[in-house]
Structure formats: C-alpha cells, structure tokens
Chain A
Amino acid sequence: QVQLKESGPGLVQPSQTLSLTCTVSGFSLTSNSVHWVRQPPGKGLEWVGAIWSGGSTDYNSALKSRLSISRDTSKSQVFLKMNSLQTEDTAIYFCTSGWDFDYWGQGVMVTVSS
C-alpha cells in the first residue's frame, strides 16, 4: 500500500538550513508527484512546493528564494531544503501524494529556535 514518511531534525537554529526527507513506498516517483505542505502550530495548512513525476518543481512564491525540492528515484526519496530559517518557519511539515493529496505522511515537527 502507499506510504509516505517524513524524517529530519526536530530543532533548527535561526538562519540555518532545514533538510527533510520523505521516503515513499507503494508507488513510483517517476509516475507520481510529491508535495510538501506545512502547518504552523494551531494554524491552517500551507502548500510549500512539489516535485512532479518528470522531475520538475514548483514552489510557493513566498518561499521560492529559500526553497529547493529534489529527489532520488532509486531510493524513493524526496528532499526538501529550506535556508535562512526564521521562527515563523516553525511548523509540522507533511509530504503528500496523489492528485487529490490522497496520501499523507504522519508529519515531522520542526522548531526554529536558538
């Protein structure tokens, strides 16, 4: 069955770079897109960006200058890198797939704090 699992550091210092990994199973990254969505504590959902089945990417325009999404298809992994982190980047980060965001990982909480 389709599964996604996020991993990464729980705590990042301000101005540093966040690196997250989404490991997927049950489908191929060359046939399906993977999106990142984040949720600040007590707030709503925000689309962060995506990597499409062909390898192209799209980013939230507000984050574009700090964001990079890539993948390793042989390992079924998608990577998110965001630099110059600020406290407002504190959030749960989810990876999701399926055209209607059918499948979600459990999320990883990232806290930006010194």
Chain B
Amino acid sequence: DIQMTQSPASLSASPEEIVTITCQASQDIGNWLAWYQQKPGKSPQLLIYSATSLADGIPSRFSGSRSGTQYSLKISRLQVEDTGIYYCLQRYSNPPTFGGGTKLELK
C-alpha cells in the first residue's frame, strides 16, 4: 500500500497568515492527490483534486502544488472559517490511502 505521511499534525496560525500543509507519498502517485477539509461533526469536503485543481465553490485562497512525491496545500490569507482538520488522499492505486490529518486552529 502507498503510505501518505502528512505534516504537521497540528498548527496554530493567525488570521491573514499563510499556512502550508504537506503530504509525502511513499512512491510516485503522479497527480492523483486530493485535499479535504473536515469540520467537527461534518463529512470531509473536497478542496483540491489532481494535486492542483480547485474544487467547485472553494475559495481561491486554497491552492495545491506538487514537487516530486511531495504535495502541499497552501492557504493564503487565513480566515476564521478555515479551522478544521485537513487530509490528503492518494487515488493512484488501490487501496486509496489518506494522510494522518492536520488540525488547524486559529490564534
């Protein structure tokens, strides 16, 4: 199975700051990487697909990038509503595997 190592496990940032979350794949997964946001008591919401494409209705302050087997989610101009837990997911091969999650809190 492909392992997705996500970091950091948690972070705290101030409104308007820029934050970056990364996922390291254990092997090449091409651009088969998605990012999700999950708020307490809710199901995950797709933010980014194909590593860099913004999902419908997602604010442009969210962006994704790739460097080799490392994938990043950047949130520019952090807003209060961006608190939650973020997960990456690889869909390159079965089984699909998630990163361990990053809990984002605002100061």
Contact = CB atoms under 8 A, between A and B. Distances in A.
Interface residues of A, number: 19
**Dominant SS at the B interface?**
loop
B22 to A, nearest CB: 16
A101 B87 contact: no
B39 to A, nearest CB: 12
**Dominant SS at the A interface?**
loop
Q: How large is the interface on B (under 10, 10 to 19, 20 to 34, 35 or more residues)?
A: 20 to 34
A15 interface: no
Given A45-B87, A107-B43, A60 B95 contact: yes
Interface of A: 35, 44-47, 58, 60-61, 94, 96, 98-102, 104-107
21 contacts: A35-B96, A44-B99, A44-B101, A45-B87, A45-B98, A47-B96, A58-B94, A61-B95, A99-B91, A100-B34, A100-B50, A100-B55, A100-B89, A101-B34, A101-B91, A102-B49, A104-B43, A104-B44, A105-B43, A106-B43, A107-B43
